[in-house]
Chain A
Amino acid sequence: MTTYMNTARARAIESAPKLGSISAKRKRKCLALNIMLYISAGAICLLSVSLIGYILYRGIPHITWDFISSKPSFLKGTEGILPSILNTLYIIFMTLAVILPLGIGAAIYLNEYAKNKKAVKMIEFAAETLSGIPSIIYGLVGMLIFVQMFSLETSLIAGALTLAIMTLPTIMRTTQESLKTVPTNIREGSLALGAGKWHMIRTVVLPSSVDGIVTGAILSAGRIVGESAALLFTAGTANEIYGIINAVLPGNAGSTLTVSLYMYAKERGEFDYAFATAAILLILTFLINMLAALSSKLLKGKR
């Protein structure tokens, strides 16, 4: 109610019947509905906090320097998550390297070039369809196309290409949103000074929509970190440490953090390591979310 204070509206609302002046039956009904609202919100809040708290509580004691800095080896008797951390980073960067140009290009086409409304509708429907397809189907199709047809074998690059298809709608949507916010008058100013369309896009439109693009990229990175089903059959479950060059070459399979977590929990039943990996994943996801919020704030302020 405080938001309406000091306005005529507020007075009108304040004069609405108070709970005291209505029949007991209505009063009971309102009270019951209100209690339900608070219980639902409280339950979800409690659930979320206890879920995250439990994972961190079980996981953090097992995050040791050895665990982060070594790879699993039967010979040395070590258990470590370093390959998965590296593979996750490799896949994030490879995916973004592939999909950023494509997704931004698609958004530019939709927002700047496309004149045919039907074509725009069709493309937007296609993007929506892509964002609704479950990741296990992306995994299968990625296996058919990249692993088998392009014979990349089970490899990091095949996984990254699969995830690129999956993140296309996110990049497209966020870029399109930020392209829309570029005001018409500065576009027209640029065109009036004799700039071609591409010149206008490159010098005026893209620089002022960079905040949305960066935020979209970070959000996609978050989605890539959490992805598992699409990677199981495309990037594989190996635990090797690769250099940057080997990571891009076909045939070098590797599991990301999520896939390692799945293997620890489901295939090997080593729940301490699974929880440690889960805690690392959560921390990573929170960092990425914070980065997304921070970047959109900072870049917007700069504009």
Chain B
Amino acid sequence: MTTTTATTEADPFVHPALFYRGSRQYLQGTTPFVLGGLDAGEPVAVAVPERNLRLIRDELGELASQVRLIDMSEAGRNPGRIIPAVLTAFADLHPGRRVRIIGEPIWPERSATEYPACVQHEALINLAFAGRGVTILCPYDLDGLDPEVIRDARMTHPAIMDASGLRVSEEYAPEYAVQEYNRPLPAPGNAAEFAFGETDLSGVRAFAVEHASRMGLSGERLQDLRLIASELASNSLDHGGGSGTLRLWFEDGRAVIEVSDAGHIVDLLAGRRPAAARQQGSRGLLMTNLLSDLVRIHTGGDGTTVRAYFAV
């Protein structure tokens, strides 16, 4: 297996998927990638689930101290925050330099509710880093993941690496993948509902706090949810036709908050671009990605629904 990726192509951004079976292939794919980066003087980060992080760290030995090790199951629990808070954050630490990252956002325990957000994240990496000197290698567990997941990875990665080497992905179609998973969200069973307009932001927050606290959310997480309720409702007032509907319900151990309105989010990277410090624009979706445990969005000409999940 080789890790000499095609970095001489027109786009300096390189984003191969690594299809592996078992720990040995995992290390055969990842360790030379890390060592090659260190040899080239490139800053290297490894953002993978903790069990794989331990594998790589043990294999690297003392060299592990030169690598940024990040537990993806924690930092990337919400796929929507991986681009702004992990990948871009690391690249921005080293302006003007090529950086190398192993990013593993999909593992067998990911739920069906999380998975569409994972695919969209993988697809949007290509848009977020186009033209940038960044290499991101994404391991996929052939034994643990469904064939459908592997099929999607071929859509979201321009190149594939496996035991037979590196090749171009013929199925590569990132924007199609984003649309494919931009699906209507299943209706909640039993939700508390609040229709809001221009003057109701304070009421939106009070309603969200009342219902989320009944679900067991408290302290700082309750305040985070209150902020997200307010930001999403503000977005509806600014961009979603001036009104919207807030819903809250409890689902699989999580408080879910949803805001729907008549708007249409056309910027595919909305909420994933870290805002420059002096930039005035809206940070509502970015904050939603940063503070919640999962974000699901369905948007189109008929309106937009944003769901944010908070583990209780």
* A and B interact: no
